[in-house]
Structures are given as structure tokens and as C-alpha cells.
Amino acid sequence: MTTAPDYEAAAARAARELEEAPAQEILRWAADTFGKRFCVTSSMEDAVVAHLASTVLPGVDVVFLDTGYHFAETIGTRDAVAATMPVNVITLTPKLTVAEQDAEYGPRLHDRDPDLCCSLRKVEPLNRGLGAYDAWATGLRRDESPSRANTPVVAWDAKRRKVKLAPIARWTQDDVDAYVQANGVLLNPLLWEGYTSIGCSPLSCTAKPGEGEAGRAGRWAGSGKTECGIHL
């Protein structure tokens, strides 16, 4: 197993060698390299990456951020994944409850300062939760938005000093749909209702995109914000 000081070099090498590799091969490299010090993060929009990871590392930790603002359908998807898949779902929560945050920063912080709200309810809890791991995998895809167009399949996350994987970075939405169909992968029911990217439930955070708009157009619509900060 690779030792920690070598992880940055290992990530650079894997990025070159695995660029054209199937998603399961990328995840198998992570499982072989990091073992139990590897996890998958999931927003529970779907369980595709969790399912892929479970095929190469049964019992893999799947980390979910419960911001306190999720749709009931998202929480239900999390619970269904935990109940039906060979994974270990770990729920992370912010230091402040929604009520405590409202008391300290004022209500509806997500409308007034969405960057701060995301920092408090997503970025900080994830940074804290990833302390138990040396590598983590996400569901980022290059076709989702211009800000994600150059996502590497393996990278060194310099801020967190960890290896970050995006095993389905090269996939299209059609690839995702085909994998879901072939493997009976769980999906968030909101996807059937016209949502194409699902985050927190306030309208300023997640809305249905308009006709012909990109999949992530409904996230922080009209604010100029495109990412919560986890992937910046």
C-alpha cells in the first residue's frame, strides 16, 4: 500500500494512467491503494458512484452531508441506499443546527449570503469528516457545467492533503442513465419531477431548470454562484 508522503505523486501518476480507464478500474485502484482510508461522497441525487464503489470495495463508506435543509426525498434516498446497498452510509452534520445558525447569523442566510451558508453547512462538515480518510471519490462529471469541464479522474486535493477521484468524470448523462437502467441503481424521486441537479430545498438553492437550460441551471439560479465550495 502506498504511504502517505507518496500520495501526491501517486495521484499525478494515476491521473495519467487512468484517464481512459473504466470507472470501476479507477475505483479499484483507490480501493487497492487506500483500503478503508477511502470513501465516497454522495449528495443522494443518485447512488451511481456508491454502487460502482461497492462492486470493488463492499462495505465502502459513503459520506452524506445532512445540511438540515434537504428535501424529504433526499433523506429518503439516503435511507434507501443504507438499507439496500452493501455500503456504510455515514451522515455528517454542521456544528450549528438550522435554528442555532438563524440565531447567530439571522434567518435565511442561504438567501443573503449563500457562500457563507454553504461554508457552514457543507464545506466545514466535509473537511472535518474527511479527516478519517486519505482519499475520496465524487460524482463530478465534465459535462455538467463549464466549471467542471476539466475535472481529472484522479487529482491531488491540495487544500485537504488528500487524493480526490472523479471516476465518472468522462461520463455523459446518457452513460449515467444506461448504468442506472442496467443495474437498478437508486435515484432521488425528484429527478422524475423535473429537477436535474438536487441540493438544499430553499428555492434560492435548488429550482427546476427552464426549458433548454443546462442541468445545473437551477442551482443558486440568478445569483452567479455555481458551486457550493466543496469542489473549489
Catalytic residue from among 39, 117, 205, 228: 228
* Contact residues for 18 (Cβ-Cβ < 8 A; gap 6+): 25, 26, 29, 153, 154
C-alpha of 14 from chain center: 21
Q: How far is Cα 76 from Cα 169, in angstroms, rounded to an integer?
A: 26
- In the chain the beta strands, taken as DSSP E runs, fall at 38-41, 60-65, 87-92, 135-137, 154-157, 162-165
CA distance to 8, 40, 41, 108, 136, per residue, from 19 (Å):
16, 19, 21, 42, 17
Q: Is residue 94 a contact partner of residue 189, using CB atoms and an 8 Å limit?
A: no
* Contact residues for 83 (Cβ-Cβ < 8 A; gap 6+): none
Q: How far is Cα 148 from Cα 185, in angstroms, rounded to an integer?
A: 24
3-state class of 208 per DSSP? coil
User: Angle CA(163)–CA(169)–CA(173) in degrees, nearest 5?
Assistant: 150
Active site residue 228: yes
Q: Is residue 122 a contact partner of residue 93, using CB atoms and an 8 Å limit?
A: no
Query: Which residues are marked as active site?
Result: 228
